[in-house]
Amino acid sequence: MSSAESTADSSDGRSPSPAAEHYVQTRLTQYQSWYDTKAVKTKAMHLRMRSLSVVGGALVPALVNVDHTAARITATVVSLLVLISVSLESVYRYREQWKNYRSTEQLLGHERVYYETRVGPYTALSDDKAFSLLVARVEKAIANENSATLNVMTLGGQVSADIHEQRLAPQETTKIER
């Protein structure tokens, strides 16, 4: 019997090792669920912020043109809400977080299916090697997502701080000599 046949037989006929079963049912399932929950929440926040910005941005010009005190006050309040919404989105970067969480959740799901069905990178591997590869790939995906989220949050804050500093700094002019 070839090694490919024995691997196929062992993956079809036998259940995974207790360690593999435990890892898949605890760590992998836990992280997949966590990323799914975070993706749903950050997508909802992103859509709320964007909706408020778009609708508020459309309402303000109309309200400003109404000759009534309540309309002007409402326009001011709506403008402030739009400003707060856009500012919070630029700080918390909900869209980028949502994309990171969802792509990681999907990647973990694919890895689980590939491992359980022994396709893709898990084809023709022994149970131990397939499990080791699964752990390595899952942990790398988690570490990559953590790094990406940290970069998004840090970069977002840095860009906002840089823009704020540029606004406060006096404009430097250079003289062109003739």
What pLDDT shows up at residue 173? Answer: 42
What pLDDT shows up at residue 82? Answer: 96
Tell whether 152 is covered by a domain.
yes
Give the pair of three-digit tokens for residue 132.
Answer: 């080791």
pLDDT per 10-residue tile (average), the chain, 178 residues: 41 71 96 98 97 96 94 96 94 94 98 97 96 97 94 67 54 43
Tell whether 123 is covered by a domain.
yes
What pLDDT shows up at residue 53? Answer: 96
Tell whether 174 is covered by a domain.
no
Tell whether 177 is covered by a domain.
no
Tell whether 39 is covered by a domain.
yes
Number of domains in the chain: 1
pTM listed for this prediction: 0.75
- The 8 Å CB, 24+ separation contacts for 5-14 are 7/118, 7/124, 7/125, 7/126, 8/118, 10/126, 10/127, 11/118, 11/127, 11/130, 14/127
Tell whether 150 is covered by a domain.
yes
Q: Which domain holds residue 139?
A: 3-160
- Torsion sign, CA atoms 39, 45, 50, 51: positive
Tell whether 165 is covered by a domain.
no
Tell whether 17 is covered by a domain.
yes
Dist CA 3 CA 126 (whole Å): 8
